[in-house]
Chain A
Amino acid sequence: MVQVTIWGSLAAATGDQTEVEIDATTLRELLDGLAARYPALKPQLDRGVSVAIDGRIYNDSWFTPIQEDSEVVLLARLKGG
């Protein structure tokens, strides 16, 4: 199980939990697991998120491995100029 930190305004979709546990070993499993367990997160997941894994930020690489003790933080989808 991986512990995932959810940002504040998404907590309404997770029953006010800002830390949730998901059974995942990759980024894809993490995002699929979040959508399955918390359907209310789906609109934001569809709009796009970035994910920080142990301090490094990932966007779309589905098969990025996640360790059980990794720090995983959901972020608003990063945009640049």
Chain B
Amino acid sequence: MALDSKTGTAPRDFKIIGTRPARPDGIDKVTGRARFGADMSAPGMLVGRVLRSPHAHARIKSIDSSAAEALSGVHAVVTRADFPTPEADVADILDNCMAGEKALYDGHAVAAVAAASAAVARQALKLIKVEYEPLPHVIDVDAAMASGAPALHEGRANETVPKGHSPNVMARHAFGHGDIDAGLAQADRVLERSYRTEATHQGYIEPHACLASMGADGQADLWCCTQGHYMVRNTCAAILGITQGQLRVTASEIGGGFGGKTTVFLEPVALMLAKKTGRPVKMVMSRAEVLRATGPTASSSVDIRLGMTSEGRITAGFAELRYQGGAYPGAPVDMGAMSAFAPYDLENVRTIGWDVVTNRPKAAAYRAPGAPMAAFAVESAIDELARDLGLDPLEVRLKNAAREGTRASYGPTYPAIGLEATLRTARDHPHWSAPLGPNQGRGVACGFWFNFGGDTCVSLNITPDGTVNLSEGNPDIGGSRASMSMMAAEELGIPYDKVRTVIADTGSLGQNEVTDGSRVTFAVGLATIEAARAAKREMCKRAAQVWGIDEEAVIWEDGAARPSGPNAGEHPPMTLAEIAAIASNTGGPIAGHHEVNAEGAGVSFATHMVDTEVDPDTGAVTILRYTVFQDAGKAVHPSYVEGQFQGGSVQGIGWALNEEYIYDDDGILQNAGFLDYRIPVASDLPMIDTVILEIPNPGHPYGVRGVGETSIVPPLAAIANAVSASIGTRMNDLPMSPPKVLAAIQAR
């Protein structure tokens, strides 16, 4: 049972929603038929390669590409000089794709070549002479904020930054309400701690790849691996100085994104090479390029002050968060500052966030951008204070949990939310009371994410044989083709396998927001339901025409139009297939479409519980057991919801235990490969157990909330709390790699 109206007033039983049909892309992906970013080719295609800076920070004094251009098989070299002067809103994006006056990080693109083969392209890169003037660099966020730190930019700070700060500080954000000092004065105990997290990469398995072509008439086509091909179109058109209508972008299958594919890297460069050569150009990044030059998340340094009564009531919470987001402004510290205390009902709460630049690759979004680091600090502090006071850390969270009517730490008053339900379910779950052995500990933490909707456009077409084609404009990362097919089938009253959902190119549908913000099942689902309802209205009209009655006297029920009401008369139902078969005779093709800026996405909460065991001789941490409790609003396809819970948890496990960017003294990345940048693999993990809670979102016809991001927010703290319990001393710096844990054990 869930809701079947935007106002949440009409409960209904579902037939397809909540079941677990086979995914429509599964066979293609296991047989190799699915085409990813690097799988597209074109006649006459050239190979594009990028020359990258070997310096962390350097002025580019000159670039001489004459020798490369003279090499047989080389068709073109591009540098920043080939691009038009960009508008302000894409200036940093272009500078990140192709450096201008300075190289700002190790791996920053400085030139690119298009050649007849990869071997020739590699040879050509060696012939491009770049004269650099190396400059002092800064990698660490606190060092970048210090007086006298090497400055990446001058005069880029916005109006929120008080005078006197390092030029690397780009923005300051403050949120909260109440009086922190008064709240701390009411506490029986006050905790002050500092926490650090390292930059981690989204770790998608498929590297960035694209194929670009542009005709002499300026009409361009781009095939690429992205979370949002409309964003790629709009951004590339702005950078190249062409209209959006001239550029058609088709999204390939995508081997993971997690936020990291919500911007462009290769695409404008490939288009410029295609323009210059008049030939299609394909570009594919190596793993090292992905790690050196695409977006990891921000690293953080956070100070917390927290007051608590001896009964476990939090009297005040203060956090100062410093995030470095790489070489350009925009570290997600505003999101961190808004979400840090969001799970709790606090009278006195304040957060201050500092957005800082360093000589690292520009941070990209990563699942709930900015929230995991903030939650790590806040949830660690709550846990330490609760344990110090001899209180149950889960009960302390319940005692302070935000609920309907709570004024959120970031301002608004919450409507119905699911945090309390996740905590109560966690407390009553067998995991919470299971016995632990030596060197083992249990941790718990909560997490929050906003979720959003945005521009969405779908088209649903009834074929003459009564099957249905649904076109949406969001790349399918987490199973959206299955979810959309299910929602269309549910609404039309036909079997799931009668609906095929495809991802349309940018020329076929109106603007669609990127696949991010946990928006797709919510927003595209909402549009799909409305498109199906439009098609049903048309089919009822056609049936009314056939029966010679008013269309108001026809309803749609169980996949068929049926006469309804006292004056409708007796007519046998007409199924969707029967109406489709005579569509030409009744007015032509039947379709439904819906276009909307979907607002009203409901916020999401989760509680995670984890058991760890630490090897006292090596410091190695084993995850023994892990359970996720999260509110999904309504789980359309529960297996995909569980997959999102599990995936976020696993990425959090990597962030907590192993993953980090390691730089040498020259600011050069030392671990640009999966052997040295270690993400968790299946053999590192137990089965991640999941408990789906369903507190319907009144903003969606079926009650759906986004689930893709919240699951990465609690793991960092939950695991740190478990490891701290395992070894009897707090772990406040991530990652908790074996040397760090061993040092903490030895320092006890």
Partner-B contacts on A (CB < 8 A): 5, 7-10, 12-13, 40, 43-44, 47, 50, 52, 54-61, 64, 71, 73-76, 78-81
Query: Among residues 377 to 394 in chain B, which have CB atoms less than 8 Å away from a CB atom of chain A?
Result: none
A80 to B262, CA, bound (A): 9
Given A55-B413, A57-B450: A78 in contact with B175 (beta carbons within 8 A): no
A-B contact pairs, 10 of them (CB 8 A): A8-B176, A61-B599, A73-B412, A76-B173, A76-B334, A79-B365, A79-B369, A80-B365, A81-B366, A81-B369
Cα(A3)–Cα(B411), bound, Å:
13
- Nearest CB of chain B from residue A69's CB, rounded to whole Å: 12
B258 contacts which of A5, A47, A81 (Cβ < 8 Å)? Answer: A81
Say how far A74's CB is from chain B's closest CB, in angstroms.
Answer: 8
Query: In angstroms, how far is the closest chain B Cβ from the Cβ of A80?
Result: 3
Closest 6 CB pairs of A and B: A81-B259, A80-B517, A8-B174, A52-B412, A81-B365, A73-B411
A80 and B516 form a contact (CB under 8 A): yes
- Judged by a CB distance under 8 angstroms, whether B536 is at the interface is no
Contact: A78 with B412, CB < 8 Å?
no
Q: Is the CB of B338 within 8 A of A59?
A: no
* Number of A-B contacts defined by CB within 8 Å: 106
Query: Is residue B597 contacting chain A, with contact meaning CB distance below 8 A?
Result: yes
Alpha-carbon distance between A8 and B365 when the two chains are bound, in angstroms: 24
Measured CB to CB, the nearest residue on chain A to B516 is A80
Chain B residues 420-467 with CB under 8 Å of chain A are: 450-452, 454
In the complex, which of the residues A5, A40, A60, A74 contacts B159, with contact meaning CB atoms closer than 8 Å?
A40
Complex Cα spacing A59 to B699, Å: 15
B66 within 8 A of partner (CB): no
Chain B CB count within 10 A is highest, among A5, A44, A80, for A80
Q: How far is the CB of A61 from chain B (nearest CB, A)?
A: 5
Contact of A59 among B366, B368, B369, B597 (CB under 8 A): B597
Cβ of B367 < 8 Å from any Cβ of A?
A: yes
Question: A7-B175, A9-B160, A61-B597 are known contacts. Are A78 and B450 too (CB-CB below 8 A)?
Answer: yes
Cβ contacts under 8 Å, B451 to chain A: 80
| A8 contact from B175, B260, B367, Cβ within 8 A | B175
CB pair B335–A78 under 8 Å, yes or no, is: yes
Q: A8 to B174: give the CA distance in the assembly, Å.
A: 5
Nearest-CB residue, chain A, relative to B414 = A55
Q: How far is the CA of A43 from the CA of B259 in the complex (A)?
A: 26
Q: Are B368 and A81 in contact (CB under 8 A)?
A: yes
Tell which of A13, A60, A75, A79 touches B410, judged by Cβ atoms closer than 8 Å: A75
**Chain A residue with Cβ nearest B451:** A80
Is B172 in the interface zone, CB < 8 Å from A? yes
Most chain B beta-carbon neighbours within 10 Å: one of A9, A47, A80, A81: A81
